[in-house]
Structures are given as C-alpha cells and as structure tokens.
Amino acid sequence: MPVMESYTPGTFCWAELGTSDAGDAKRFYTALFGWTADDRPMAPGAFYTMLTHQGRAIAALYQQDPGSGAGAPHWLSYISVESANDTARRARELGGAVVVEPFDVLDVGRMALVQDATGAVVALWQPRRHVGAGIIGETGAMCWNELATTDTARAEAFFAALFGWSAMTRELVGLRYTTFARDGEPCGGMLPIDASRGPVPPHWLVYFAVSDCDGQVALAQSLGGSVRVPPLDVPGVGRYAVVTDPQGATFAVLQKADRR
C-alpha cells in the first residue's frame, strides 16, 4: 500500500470537495467508496470534513458558503510546493493568475489558488503538519489528476516552467493525450477540450481508483449520482468513467489494467 509521508514538490497531494450539501455528499461518498467522514470544526456551525480510508486521511469536503462566490460544487486538486508565496508569484509571471493569495491554514500548511495560463484553477499546498493524502493510488484513494484545456500547448509550457514537468503526447482512444512527468515519474495528464462539448471551461479532474469500474458506476447511480462518460477501456491504462455526484461535482473512477 503506497502510504505517503511526504510529497515531492510539483506533484499532486490532496483533493477537496466544495459542495452545496455537505450532509448528502458525506452520505454519497461514504457509501460509494467506503470512506469514513470525520467532521473538524472550522468556525461556528462550519466544519471541514476529513475523509479517511484505512485509517488515513485521503480527501476532504466542506459546505460552500452561498455568498462566497465559490461557484458550483467541484473537486479541487492540490499540488505540493516548497513555497506557496514563490510559486504563486511565479504563476503570475508566467501568464497565470492568483485567484486566492497565499494564506496560512492554521498550523497545517500554507495554500493559494492559482489559475494557469489557459484558465484552469489548481491549489498550491506548502505542507507543515499536514502533507496531503495518507494513501495514494490505492483502491478508494486518489490515483490521477487530469487537465482538460482549450490550449494544450500553452498549458504545457506553463507547467513546464512552473513545476519542471516534462510532457509526452500520444494518440489515445481517438484523441491526443499528454502525460506530464516530474523527474521521470508520471504526475498528471492533459487532453484538449473538444469543441463539440460546447463552452466547457478549462478544469482539473480528480480520479479515484476502484476495483470494478462498472460496479462503481452502477452504485453511484443508485446513490443519486449520474454518468457523464460511461465506462470506457483505455489500452494499457484500464477502464474508467466520469461521474457526477448528486450536487453536481464531477470526478472520475479508474479500474487500473492488470499489469501481471
């Protein structure tokens, strides 16, 4: 089991759900993935819910404030960095934007929200007491993060300069798919937004590993979720699907290919 005690800077480390109905989201995800929900007080009447798997925190969720301008329910991907201040400043220099300036999260870390040069938002996490997900890549945990964007060339240049990511692009299930790597290790993916999908804004998609893609999709539907992309095989990768939870947040599930 890939237990994580630290993350290399420039790699994904955490996923967080902002939702319009935290109570129902907890019902949905605990039943879907077998997670345990642990509510932590943030403010009077407000909680940050740690989602745990096999006794380790692997993601979180919180109730969105309708007046905060947080937008629609969504999963947010976090990237570990040495300095949230320096990385946010560099993102701005590279043509991105700082959506939320760096700030301390109690004594657990320092974070910022940045928008890449094509418009997709990602969180920066400078760890202190909390490094990120305690398990990664295992069934029931985050296993991949994928950028859908309208300008793959510009996004590739941005992330190469910001995090030192290299990129390899190949044809995959009828589209050009880019795999990002950090020091030779795959750390994320990218695909172009097809114009036929309409006005879809650039965004990051979080993948969670499952043992049975079709069964997980059926369970999600029975719990009130819906299917955005039905189960599909990707040679050499596995079988995946894209699902929307009852509040409208989108995520993907991946049944990894048998490598034996």
Q: What are phi and psi of 86, to 5 degrees?
A: -65, -40
Q: For position 90, what pLDDT does the model report?
A: 98
Task: Please check the confidence at residue 171 and state whether its pLDDT lies above 90.
Answer: no
Mean pLDDT, residues 151-160 taken together: 97
**What's the average model confidence in pLDDT over 137-149?**
96
Per-residue pLDDT, averaged over 5-17, amounts to 97
Residue 129 burial (CB count, 10 A): 9
Q: What is the pLDDT of residue 177?
A: 95
Q: What is the pLDDT confidence band of residue 246, given thresholds at 50, 70 and 90?
A: very high
Q: Where are the domains of the chain?
A: 1-148+201-260
For residues 54 and 203, what is the distance between their CA atoms, to the nearest angstrom?
Answer: 29
Mean pLDDT of 115-139: 96
pLDDT for the residue 69: 63
> What's the confidence (pLDDT) of residue 15?
98
Residue 205: name the closest of 112, 142, 260 by CA: 142
Q: How far apart are CA 191 and CA 210, in angstroms?
A: 22
Mean pLDDT for 125-152 is 96
Q: How confident is the model at residue 173 (pLDDT cuts 50, 70, 90)?
A: confident
Q: What is the pLDDT of residue 259?
A: 60
- Fold classification of 1-148+201-260 is 2,3-Dihydroxybiphenyl 1,2-Dioxygenase; domain 1 (3.10.180)
Structure confidence at residue 3 (pLDDT): 81
Find where tokens 């991105």 sit. Answer: 96
Give the residue from 220, 246, 219, 243 showing the smallest Cα distance to 230.
Answer: 243
Q: In Å, how far from its chain's centre is CA 76?
A: 5
What are the C-alpha distances in Å from 140 to residues 26, 59, 133, 195?
Answer: 15, 10, 12, 32
| pLDDT value, residue 247 | 97
Compute the distance between CA of residue 48 and CA of residue 211 in angstroms, rounded to an integer. 28
